[in-house]
Amino acid sequence: MILVTLIAVLFVGGLVAWFSERISPTMPRMVALIAVILDLLLMFSLLGAGDTGARVATFEADWIPRFGISFYFAADGLSILLLMLTAFLGVIAIGAAWGEIKERSGFFYFNLLWTLAGVLGVFTALDLFLFFFFWEVMLIPMYLIIAIWGHENKHYAAMKFFIFTQVTGMLMLISILVLAYLHYVQKGSLSFNYHDLLTVSTSGSIGMWMMLGFFLSFATKLPSVPFHSWLPDAHSQAPTAGSVILAGILLKTGAYGLIRFTVPLFPEASMAFAPYAMALAAISILYCAKVAFAQTDIKRLIAYTSVSHMGFVTLGIYAWNEQALQGAIMTMLAHGLSAAALFMLAGGLQHRIHTRDMSQMGGFWARVPRMTAVAIFFSVAALGMPGLGNFIGEFLALIGAFQANITMTVLAAFGLILASVYSLWVLQKVFQGEYRNTDFDDSHLTDLNRREMTYFALMMLGLIWMGMYPQSFLDMSEPALTQLLTSTQGVAVALLQGAL
């Protein structure tokens, strides 16, 4: 029941935040912050799930029994890690919007909380029709956040985001319906229950087409080349809080879908497709790292680096062994914090000087030393500095992927070199050199305040904890991953043999 409560708190909190604007323009942000903090505190009661691997707090009730559709929620160690990341970054997103969102603030926080509620549903729903319902719930409010509170080209970016996610989402829905129909043909009853659908035979070409429906939807959300072009536009036009949610949380729903649904439901098709998926991952890592160098818009640059780093997640998933999957999950968690922090910094700069053009920046170190120190920390974290969470994730992903596909792993490793170069290049471009203020009014170029430093300090502590004590995270996810690997039986071995 607690999983339903977590989702309900955000749904109700969103409605209360919307209507509370009538009382005071600042009331919605307080309501939103209280709702997300309450959810985060409730999640601590789930932390014991990682010890046994058993799904805890399972809730199941009939919804549309005629078609085998039910309200089926459950969480294991993998889900709980992502639930806590969602709530934590929800707090950070509210902090990012605190002084930025002044118009229609009630409706903004309504959309923000409903996006988070949709994400919680995605991470806990084990009825595939219910899963798709929450997949849509989290996308529509994000579309509105970009379209209403975005920047100069917001309508184009919002529509592009909507078209990419909706078209590929429809492909996933078709695959879900076909899978449920196959269960009816093979078992004699309609069901959208995840455990029932795991028993469906999906061999042959039909299995490959259904798997591709899932893969395209999740790879677009991840995103992976060539389905990534919506992301730089969405990030550059979204308000800062929207970028935090997009980079820190929504991208992780795509990776979660690949781990939880795509490979376990279609093991044979995934085995056959794995070399191509790993090749796409390597291309994403290298291509987007290269394209990042061509950007002058700081938010577009960070967006391309996000696609590059998420390539390590795809690489780890399709290696499909425990080390690689552990690396993928650690990368998801660490990237969630580092990317959210970098977008907060970029958004904070834009809010202060009203430009994202790095060619107009330079020499900011003397004016904003605290901001510079924070930017150095998270840039170094993103490039994979040992001792921080990103290093643990990418290192494990590469070790696991090396066992499955040596060529793609070696190519992907070059992305670590490129990450170091573009991270240091951005620091030099924005914070080093001669101070430039000829193209903008620098009267509002102020350093980070205490509230902002508090949020950044929390994310710093998270990355240091992941880097210095990764076992606490690995222990949480290990039983869930063992169950997934066991359920697919010989998939990992077949992937390895097929790649070699």
In the structure, what pLDDT confidence band is assigned to residue 492 with cuts at 50, 70 and 90? very low
- d(Cα 241, Cα 89) in Å, to the nearest integer? 10
> By C-alpha distance, which of 349, 328, 245, 237 is closest to 281?
328
B/e letters for 74-91, b = 16+ CB within 10 Å, e = fewer, are bbbbbbbbbbbbbbbbbb
**What's the mean pLDDT in 382-389?**
88
pLDDT above 70: residue 23: yes
pLDDT for the residue 50? 47
pLDDT for the residue 111? 94
Specify the amino acid at residue 366: A
Query: Any idea which residue has 């205490």 for tokens?
Result: 450
- pLDDT tens across 53-101, in order? 556 768 888 898 888 899 999 998 899 999 999 999 999 999 988 888 8
> By C-alpha distance, which of 92, 36, 67 is closest to 247?
92
**Residue 381 structure tokens:** 């974290």
**What's the mean pLDDT in 137-141?**
91
- d(Cα 387, Cα 396) in Å, to the nearest integer? 14
List helix spans (H) across 294-405: 298-319, 322-353, 369-382, 389-404
Q: How many CB atoms sit inside 10 A of residue 354's CB?
A: 11
- pLDDT tens across 113-124, in order? 999 999 999 999
- d(Cα 248, Cα 147) in Å, to the nearest integer? 20
- The contacts found for 36-42 with CB under 8 angstroms, 24 or more apart, are 36/10, 36/87, 36/90, 36/91, 36/94, 36/113, 36/116, 37/91, 38/9, 39/6, 39/9, 39/10, 39/87, 39/90, 39/120, 40/84, 40/87, 40/88, 40/90, 40/91, 42/2, 42/5, 42/6, 42/9
Task: Assign residue 304 a region (left: φ > 0; alpha: ψ between -120 and 50; beta: otherwise).
Answer: alpha
- d(Cα 56, Cα 47) in Å, to the nearest integer? 10
- pLDDT tens across 238-293, in order? 899 999 999 899 999 999 999 999 999 999 899 889 999 999 999 999 999 889 88
Q: Residue 125 forms beta bridges with which residues?
A: 73
**What's the mean pLDDT in 339-363?**
87
> By C-alpha distance, which of 230, 237, 234 is closest to 151?
237
Could you tell me which residue, 433 or 450, shows the higher pLDDT? Answer: 450
> By C-alpha distance, which of 216, 186, 220 is closest to 203?
186
- pLDDT tens across 236-251, in order? 888 999 999 998 999 9
pLDDT above 50: residue 306: yes
pTM assigned to the model? 0.92
In the structure, what pLDDT confidence band is assigned to residue 489 with cuts at 50, 70 and 90? low
pLDDT above 90: residue 487: no
Cα–Cα distances in Å, from 250 out to 102, 219, 226, 349, 480? 24, 12, 18, 23, 21
| For the chain, percent of residues with pLDDT exceeding 70 | 94
Task: Assign residue 432 a region (left: φ > 0; alpha: ψ between -120 and 50; beta: otherwise).
Answer: beta
- pLDDT tens across 442-475, in order? 677 888 889 889 999 999 999 999 999 999 899 8
Full 3-state SS string of 412-474: HHHHHHHHHHHHHHHHHHHHCCCCCCCCCCHHHCCCCCHHHHHHHHHHHHHHHHHHHCCHHHH
Query: Which of 185-199, 361-375, 442-456, 482-496 is the least confident region?
Result: 482-496
pLDDT for the residue 26? 87
> By C-alpha distance, which of 393, 373, 267 is closest to 330?
393
Could you tell me which residue, 225 or 438, shows the higher pLDDT? Answer: 225
**Residue 181 structure tokens:** 């129909």
pLDDT above 60: residue 408: yes
pLDDT for the residue 202? 82
Specify the amino acid at residue 199: T
Q: Residue 75 forms beta bridges with which residues?
A: 56
How does DSSP assign 56-83, residue by residue? EEEEEEEEEGGGTEEEEEEE-HHHHHHH
| For the chain, percent of residues with pLDDT exceeding 90 | 53
- d(Cα 199, Cα 184) in Å, to the nearest integer? 12
